[in-house]
Each structure stands twice: as C-alpha cells, then as structure tokens.
Structure 1
C-alpha cells in the first residue's frame, strides 16, 4: 500500500478526492443559487429573507474553501471550472426565483442533498481512516440538519 505525506492510502484518497470534488460542485451551484435568491427576493419577507440568504451564502463560501483545501490536503486538485460543476453536480441551477417560499423550498432540497452526499463521504472517509474529512463532514451535517429544521419550520412543515 502506498501512502501520501499525511499517511493515508493514495488509492483511497483518490476516491475521497473525487467524492469531495462532487461535493464541491454541489456547494458551488447551491452558493450561486442562494446569491440569486438574495439578489432577487421580493415580497413581505424581503428584509428577513434577504439577510438570511446572505448569512447562508457567506457560510457556503467558507465551506467551499474548506472542501477545496481538504482536497488539496489529500494531495489532489479541486475542480474549479463552472462548466465542470454543472456536469458533475446533482443540485440544479435555479434562475429568477423571486418568491421567498419557493427559494426556501429549494434551500431545503439542496441542504438535504448535501447532507446525503456528506453521509456517503463519512463512510468513504472512515474506510480510508481519514479523520480530517470525517470531522469536517460531521460538523457540516450537524449544522445543516438544524438548518433544515429551521427552514422547514419557516415553511410551516
């Protein structure tokens, strides 16, 4: 077995990096969607949602950087072309969303997809004995589960 400089199996880190790149692509699409919601939201809850969406995209931007840096730490390269993000992401681009409830519904769906992907990554990272990725995914999941609850509560679900 060949290991990288941080002591992880190089074959397993390739699989991890591929999964993390897919996660990165989903984060990037989601980030741009939320920026669009922030810019285009209209209606009674404008001020509340405009602020909430800004908080969310600021958090997403931090996570995007952390995921990309984790890929680099594993000895691989993060994808960095929007065309690649569009090819490999499961979260779809949302355009011209102005209704708050619609935007929040899309946010809940996107968070659920990220949580699903991160749970898969937990398993792969655990098999690779990659505690760094396990810790990162665990932190993201616990934060996002609470966010799903809060956004669903806003929707009255």
Structure 2
C-alpha cells in the first residue's frame, strides 16, 4: 500500500499541510469579515476612498478563501467550514466597532502582515514536501500582499 495521496505527495506531508492551510483559511475568514466591517462602518474624511479600497480588499480575500479551501481538498483533506472553528483556530482576532479610517487601515495592515507570516510557514513546509502547488499558491499570495503592506504603510505615512 502506498503512503502517497492522489497527487503523489506523502500522506503525512499532505496532512500536515492541510492542517496549516486550515489555520490559514480560518485567518482569511476572520480577516475577510474584519475588512467587510471596515467597509461598512468606516467614517471620516477618507470615507469614499477607503470604502472603495476595502471592497477591493475583501473581494480579493474572498477569492483566496475559496482557493485555500480548494487546495485543502486537492491535498485530500476537508477544509474547516464552521465559523466557530475559524474563531478558535485563527491568530487574527475579530475587530469590532472600528469606524476611524486610520484604525481601519491599521487593522488591514496587521491582518496582511499576519497572513504573510503564516504563508511563509506554509511555503517552507510545502517546499520541504515537494508540494509545488501549495508552494506556488503561497508564494503568489506573499508577493501580492507584500506590495499591499508597502502601500498601506505609505498611506499611513
């Protein structure tokens, strides 16, 4: 009996990656809702600019939620799908009652920084497991989000 899964990865590696990806999925879901809340509730002189930007961010985050869940399935495992599990697994905390534009931007910045850190762990694990699919996904996300972090920092001055 083979110890590899349907895509040729060692099952122990695939299981470890799926666990890390589920933690990433939980963080994406919490972050998505935080950014959605910023979009709905932001107030102040930058309202129009930030309202539009937050919609851009949460739309992209929702796409990534789906892609991460599908990667977990590709590895032969089940993505977490209960919000209570997301809250329990996530490093990113729910951000409630935030209205100030700068505070919202700082929340977005902190969320992306956390995602980058988690994705770097996944990238290293995927590289060690010869999992090019997961490594490429994590690498693409990191590249995009590093640029976003730079831009958010520039916005904040």
Q: What's the TM-score once normalised by structure 2's chain length?
A: 0.98
Whole-angstrom distance in 2 between the partners of 1:74 and 1:89:
21
Whole-angstrom distance in 2 between the partners of 1:110 and 1:100:
15
Whole-angstrom distance in 2 between the partners of 1:98 and 1:57:
17
| Alignment match, 1:11 | 12
1:21-50 CA-to-partner distances (Å, cap 9, x unmatched) read: 000000000000000000001110000000
Whole-angstrom distance in 2 between the partners of 1:109 and 1:38:
16
Shift of 1:127: 1.1
| Alignment match, 1:127 | 128
Whole-angstrom distance in 1 between the partners of 2:46 and 2:124:
39
Which stretches of structure 1, 4 residues or more, deviate above 2 A after TM superposition?
none
Whole-angstrom distance in 1 between the partners of 2:97 and 2:152:
20
Structure 1 residues 36-115: aligned runs within 5 Å: 36-115=37-116
Shift of 1:96: 1.1
Q: Structure 1, unaligned stretches of length 5 or more?
A: none
1:51-106 CA-to-partner distances (Å, cap 9, x unmatched) read: 00000000000000000000000000000000000001000000111001001011
Q: What's the TM-score once normalised by structure 1's chain length?
A: 0.98
| Alignment match, 1:153 | 154
* Alignment RMSD: 0.6
SS of equivalent to 1:76: coil
Whole-angstrom distance in 1 between the partners of 2:50 and 2:113:
20
